Amino acid sequence: MKQLSQTHAEVQAQRLATLARDCLIDEARLSPKPGLVDSRGNGAHHDLSLALMERSAHSLTPTFLQLAQQSWQRPADIALRETVGRLGREGEQQMMKATDGVNTHRGAIWALGLLVSAAAMQSESASAQQIADTAAGLARLPDSAAPKVFSKGLKATHRYQVPGAREEAQQAFPHVMTLALPQLLRSRANGASESEARLDALMAVMTSLSDTCVLSRAGMIGLNAMQNGARAVLTAGGCAQPAGREALARLDAQMLALNASPGGAADLLAATLFLDRVSQPASCSI
Ligand SMILES: CC(C)(COP(=O)(O)OP(=O)(O)OC[C@H]1O[C@@H](n2cnc3c(N)ncnc32)[C@H](O)[C@@H]1O)[C@@H](O)C(=O)NCCC(=O)NCCS
Ligand SMILES: Nc1ncnc2c1ncn2[C@@H]1O[C@H](COP(=O)(O)OP(=O)(O)OP(=O)(O)O)[C@@H](O)[C@H]1O
């Protein structure tokens, strides 16, 4: 009996890890994304490419697997928080090794790492909201081993007095739960293709996120351009409509001109795809 449940846990942990990796790859390939790396090219980045993003995603499968294995059916306590923090930091090192020192997925490891852990902590019938709430509980716990780094993200949150990646997770991913997931489902229901629905979900995040990647590179002017441009796409009917696609092309040109790239929004799209599939396997599609 014990043998059987261990095997079941192993299969489920593998499934969560593969799913997280696939969501990173789907996010990276989705095109056309404003300012970001996609199937067309490097967006506003000189040191990133799609091949590098895909290599990075593959390098993270063992990290996601260990996160799922270590979190399996456990409660959210300090011991688990410290394990998850250690595994997340080791994952960052794996990523850096795979990319020769380029940051391809730091924010994504944080968001997806917490969600993989949360999904493993819960029963398989957990809803997206339950998984996001559990991830938030973990993110709110202190990790005494965390190094004190004054990162670019932290600098931007202090300078502009806005929430960043930490707060998004601690508040149970509001941009995923109240904007991106509902938009993904709405666009699908309205007949958009899967790619168009995913782009619409990305736009929904971009209408309101204080993305510290954009703030670091392009300041408040860049952030306002991102939010207004994304709103224009959705107001024009979204990416399934010619007017929506024109607005998306304008936003892409604007992001490139400002050297801005909404990496935080991209991370949250990957998180959205993960929650969509992990909580409703039947709706998995491309
Ligand atoms: C919390 C993290 C992302 C650091 O965040 P911080 O804002 O200090 O800085 P940094 O500039 O290095 O990275 C921020 C990244 O988050 C993403 N992001 C930016 N803005 C936002 C936002 N508003 N909401 C969500 N994500 C965002 C972007 O990808 C950005 O590059 C993370 O690196 C971290 O500290 N991890 C610790 C290890 C850990 O505990 N892991 C547990 C889960 S695996
Ligand atoms: N498709 C994508 N294109 C670009 N960035 C992405 C994409 N998907 C996710 N990201 C996220 O964007 C972040 C890139 O961060 P950022 O651009 O701030 O990198 P950096 O190297 O720290 O800074 P900079 O490029 O400004 O020197 C990563 O942490 C990653 O999680």
CA-nearest residue for atom 11, ligand 1, is 153
Q: What is the pLDDT of residue 5?
A: 67
Under 8 Å CB-to-CB from 74, ≥6 apart: which residues? 80, 121
Count CB neighbours of 159 within 10 A. 13
Answer yes or no: are the C-beta atoms of 48 and 104 closer than 8 Å: yes
Q: Tell me if 114 CB under 6 Å of ligand 1.
A: yes
Ligand with the closest atom to the CA of 95: 2
Q: Whose CA is nearest to atom 34 of ligand 1?
A: 110
Atom of ligand 2 nearest to the CA of 38: 1
Task: Please state the φ and ψ torsions of residue 41, each to the nearest 5 degrees.
Answer: 170, -155
Q: How far apart are CA 207 and CA 265, in angstroms?
A: 10
pLDDT tens for each residue of 275-284: 999 985 434 3
Q: Which domains, ranges and CATH numbers included, belong to the chain?
A: 1-145+159-279 (1.10.4200.10)
**Which residue's CA is minimally distant from atom 20 of ligand 2?**
103
Average pLDDT over residues 113-127: 94
Using CA atoms, how far residue 228 sits from 73, 220, 251, 278, in Å, is: 42, 12, 9, 31
Among the atoms of ligand 1, which is closest to the Cα of residue 146?
37
Report CA(1)–ligand 2 centroid distance (Å): 45
Q: ω into residue 242 within 30 of 0, thus cis?
A: no
Instruction: State pLDDT tens for residues 153-176.
Output: 999 999 999 999 999 999 999 999
Q: Which residue has the tokens 């990173």?
A: 24
Measuring CA to CA, which residue among 52, 48, 60, 50 is closest to residue 22?
A: 60
CB 115, CB 88: distance < 8 Å: no
Residue 273, ligand 2, Cβ within 6 A: no
Give Cα 188 to chain centroid, integer Å. 20
**Ligand 1 mutation target, pool 106, 161, 173, most atoms within 8 A of CB:** 106
Residue 285 has a pLDDT of 39
Which residue is associated with the tokens 């408040």? 220
In whole angstroms, what separates CA 176 from the centre of its chain?
A: 9
Ligand 2 in reach of 37 Cβ (< 6 A): yes
Q: What is the pLDDT, as a whole number, of residue 125?
A: 87
Residue 2 pLDDT grade (very low, low, confident, very high; cuts 50, 70, 90): low
Q: Is the ipTM of this complex over 0.95?
A: yes
Section 175-200 average pLDDT: 98
Ligand 1, atom 24: closest residue by C-alpha: 165
